[in-house]
Amino acid sequence: MLQAVIVAHPSPDSFNLSVARAYAAAAEAEGGTVLIRDLYQMGFDPCLKADEIPTAPDYRIRPDVAEERARLADAGLYVLVYPFWVNAPPAILKGYIDRVLGFGFGFSPEGEGEGPRRTDRRLLSFTSSGAPRHWVVDTGALNAVRTLFDTHLAKVCGLTVVDHIHFGAITPNMTAAAVERHLDLVRNTANWINRGN
C-alpha cells in the first residue's frame, strides 16, 4: 500500500520532520511503500488561483496540482504531519488541501453523482504544539482541528480516520529521551498499520 506522508514544517531539523521520517522508516521496514511530500522543501504554492475555482469560466487544473494528484492517486493512506501555529495548521497545508485534495480529486459535487472520491482510503494525523496537550484540549484548539480535518475533510473525501495523535509541549529544550519516546509512538503506529490493521 502506498502511504503519502504530507509534512508541513519549514525546518528540516524540526520535530515534525523527525516524525515524518520515523513513520516512513518504520512503515518501510514493515514492507510499506512511502512517499514523503515535504511541502516547504518542495516549494509548494498554497495559493488557490481564480481559475482553479470550479465555477470559474476558465476553470482548469494547474500542472503542479495535476502532477501532485498523479503522485497521490494510488495512496491508500494519507498521513498528515504538522504543527499548530496560532492553534491552527500551517497555511501551506491548508493550501495543499484546497488545491490538491479538494474538488475533482478528493470530492465532486453530490449533484453530479460523485461525492467522495477517496473512499477505501484512510487518514492518519500527527500534530504538535509548543503548548501542553491539556491546554490545546481545554481551549478547544485540538477539537477545532479535528473537526476541520478528521470530521469534515475525511467525510467529504470518503476517508476513514485511523487516528489523530497530538504531541504537546514540543519545545527546543526537550530532552532527547522525550523526543525518542514520542518517535517510538510514531514507529509503533506505523508498525501497527503496516501489519494489516
Q: Which helix (H) or strand (E) holds 133?
A: helix 133-138
Is the pLDDT at 109 greater than 80, yes or no? no
Mean pLDDT of 106-112: 72
The count of domains in the chain is: 1
d(CA 136, CA 139) in angstroms, rounded, equals 5
Rounded to two decimals, the pTM is 0.95
| pLDDT for 197 | 57
State which residues form the domain around 49: 2-194
Mean pLDDT of 179-197: 94
- Count of residues in the chain: 197
pLDDT band per the 50, 70, 90 thresholds, residue 196 = confident
The CATH number given to whatever domain includes residue 177 is 3.40.50.360
Instruction: Summarize pLDDT for 133-152 with one digit per residue, the tens.
Output: 999 999 999 999 999 999 99
Instruction: Summarize pLDDT for 149-172 with one digit per residue, the tens.
Output: 999 999 999 999 999 999 999 999
- Cα 15 from chain centre: 15
Asked if residue 159 lies in contact with residue 4, where contact means CB atoms within 8 angstroms, the answer is no
- Cα 133 from chain centre: 19
Torsions phi, psi for 101 (to 5 deg): -90, 0
Mean pLDDT, the chain, integer: 94
pLDDT band per the 50, 70, 90 thresholds, residue 112 = low
And the C-alpha cell for 166?
497530538
And the C-alpha cell for 153?
475533510
Instruction: Summarize pLDDT for 23-35 with one digit per residue, the tens.
Output: 999 999 999 999 9
